[in-house]
Amino acid sequence: MEKNCNAKYSGIGGQAVMEGVMMRNKDDYAVAVRKPDGEMAVIKDKYTGIIPSETVSKIPILRGIAGFIDSLVLGMKAINYSADFFAEEEDGEKKDGTAENGSSDKAPEKKTGKIEVISPPEKSGGMGALSIVVTVVALFFSLGLFMVIPYYLSLVFSGWIGSTKLLALIEGIIRLGIFVLYIKAISLMEDIKRVFRYHGAEHKCINCLETGHELNLENVRAASREHRRCGTSFLLYVMVVSILFFSFIDLKSRILRAALRIILIPLIAGVAYEFIRLAGRSNNPFVRSLSAPGLLMQKLTTAEPDDEMILVGIASVEAVFDWKKYLKENFGNDIQ
């Protein structure tokens, strides 16, 4: 199957969760999970966003800031949904750590039959206003640390380098190095390895459709696992944009310079979002070349899924997206 260089924007996006995939299409989203017993569960719900207004979606930068926060909030909801299934499993485990049936294998059984469509839990999985605030504050605090630590490490070179712009570049390189080391470290965990494989399944499903192919196991299996609208690419371009922004910060106070690295995070995220948005909608060769580093970075955060993982991804897409209509309107494929 060809790469997504001639892909047509579908509007769907998603993320990997614990033993599953979340897909979103406008206000609709679905979380498909491979349960501990090997069967599949699909939860479908709506999310209108923190600012449910079409006006915001038309304002560059601001729509990126809102979208960034929305992705965090919805991502946490989806992760909580998927975790609920495995919390129930842990409650039924024996004290020695094995399941009641004697099995100690963390991965679900290989079973691809029944799909259970269930309603979102009323208490678990959802996020109230306080939870949303806590999540956003915690994330910005974490990103603040991620932005500030490289800054202070870059000061080691300030005795030899007087250029603010060059120091910002060194800071950016340090930041990228920390990010890569972090991804490498968490990828050693078995659970994260499986999440990365579901991440690959998510990308493959979207790429399959956006290159004009019917959504089935064979076609998805052959699709690329790198996608230009991926969150990994977004994080990379946050780092790149931050170099440009921070190169213009020339204050004497180191504390103020560090503080600005936190304050500017929403604006940086908004600018990075605009590029990712352009990359996802454009097949211009120059834009594709700028997307290449992000696709390369995705080799760290995606892995090849097995067929059961792909079927989970397909179920998530079908719950929120009329892909047959999309293929007919964009590629002329009339699939009955």
Q: Which tokens is 286 given?
A: 């120059």
pLDDT band per the 50, 70, 90 thresholds, residue 102? very low
pLDDT of residue 131: 55
- Angle at 149 (CA atoms; ends 241, 177), nearest 5 degrees: 65
Would the pLDDT of 239 be above 60?
yes
The DSSP bridge pattern shows strands 28-34 and 40-46 to be antiparallel
pLDDT band per the 50, 70, 90 thresholds, residue 110? low
pLDDT band per the 50, 70, 90 thresholds, residue 50? confident
- Could you tell me the pTM of the whole model? 0.86
What's the CA gap between 208 and 286, in Å, rounded?
Answer: 23
How many CB atoms sit inside 10 A of residue 178's CB? 15
Q: Which of helix, strand or coil describes residue 102?
A: coil
Q: Which tokens is 146 given?
A: 């991620």
The DSSP bridge pattern shows strands 115-118 and 40-46 to be parallel
State the average pLDDT for the chain.
85
Over residues 143-170, the mean pLDDT reads 86
pLDDT of residue 101: 41
What's the CA gap between 41 and 114, in Å, rounded?
Answer: 9
Q: For a pLDDT cut of 90, what percent of the chain falls above it?
A: 52
What's the gap between Cα 156 and its chain centre? 33
Crossing angle for the helix pair 164-186 and 231-246, nearest 10 degrees?
Answer: 160
Over residues 94-123, the mean pLDDT reads 55
Strand partners, 31: 22, 43
How confident is the model over 179-229, as pLDDT tens digits? 898 899 989 999 999 999 999 999 999 999 999 999 999 999 999 999 999
pLDDT of residue 234: 94
On whether the CB atoms of residues 225 and 304 are closer than 8 A, the answer is yes
pLDDT band per the 50, 70, 90 thresholds, residue 91? low
pLDDT of residue 138: 64
Crossing angle for the helix pair 129-154 and 254-263, nearest 10 degrees?
Answer: 140
Would the pLDDT of 98 be above 50?
no
Would the pLDDT of 105 be above 60?
no
pLDDT band per the 50, 70, 90 thresholds, residue 94? very low
What's the CA gap between 37 and 40, in Å, rounded?
Answer: 9
How many CB atoms sit inside 10 A of residue 149's CB? 16
pLDDT of residue 229: 92
Flag the least confident range among 96-110, 151-165, 236-250, 267-281.
Answer: 96-110
How confident is the model over 23-44, as pLDDT tens digits? 999 999 999 999 988 899 999 9
